[in-house]
Amino acid sequence: MWSNYGRILSEYVYLKQFRKNNLNQFIEIEGLNYLYEVKNNNKQAVFISGHFNNFELMAMEIEKAGIDLCAIYRPLNNPFLNIIMEKIRKNYICKNQIKKGKSGTRDLLNLFKKNFSVALMIDQRVSEGEDIDLFNRSAKTTTIPAQLVKKYGCSIIPVYIERVRNYHFKLYFKKPLKFDDNLSHQQITSELNKVLEKMILKNPDQWIWSHNRWK
């Protein structure tokens, strides 16, 4: 995991080039049709994933496809580095960065009402989440995707990125998920954790797991 993390940090200097399509030969994308469906139908979606490889490229490619997007992030503990990262993310990854927390949730809802889609990671521990099983162990899990589905009837699109070799990546946009209206927030969130488990098991060593997920 840590060697992969080191690679990601070294790749931040190339984000500007990825944004300008100068390095697109290093990214193979599967499922672009699902992105174009969101754009052409002018209907927002919730893109979910975890911290895999150079995860910043996922939100970047969604925005580059012409989709109005906001991304939820957790500020870094180091305030100096956080200022730098916020600038990089807003300039090259996703213009609308929303801080995790109650005020961020309000900002998210305001943008969602304006037909913005949202990208968020569902693999982090959240104090305000629900206790949902992940690999047969209870883990605090965000219910934001489930809440948006219940309130707005939007689709959820799983996104996964894997490192094929060196600086070559493959990015997957999966078929949109639909849920029955009678499912609860907890039931939908449980299904999303199962999707996350499959992503992790595909390449366990490429999952950046730097905290106690089950604390």
- Threshold 0.75, pTM exceeds: yes
The pLDDT > 90 percentage for the chain reads 58
Q: Does a structural domain hold residue 133?
A: yes
Domain limits for position 18: 2-203
State the average pLDDT for the chain.
Answer: 89
pLDDT on residue 23? 76
- Domain presence at residue 215: no
pLDDT at 6: 61
pLDDT-derived band at 3, boundaries 50, 70, 90:
low
Helix (H) / strand (E) containing 154: none
User: Does residue 209 fall inside a structural domain?
Assistant: no
Give residue-wise pLDDT tens across range 179-200: 998 999 999 999 999 999 999 9
Q: Is residue 214 part of a domain?
A: no
| C-alpha to C-alpha distance for 119 and 123, rounded to whole angstroms | 13
Written as six digits, the tokens of 205 are: 């060593």
Cα-Cα-Cα-Cα torsion 186, 191, 192, 196, nearest 10 degrees, comes to 130
Confidence label for 151 from pLDDT (cuts 50, 70 and 90): very high
Of 154, 110, 144, residue with least CA distance to 124: 144
DSSP codes of every residue in 157-171: EEEEEEEEETTEEEE
Q: What is the pLDDT of residues 8-55, one digit of tens each?
A: 767 777 788 888 877 788 899 999 999 999 999 988 999 999 999 888
The number of distinct structural domains making up the chain is 1
Q: Is residue 208 part of a domain?
A: no
Rounded Cα distance, 55 and 162, in Å: 9
* Residue 148 belongs to some domain of the structure: yes
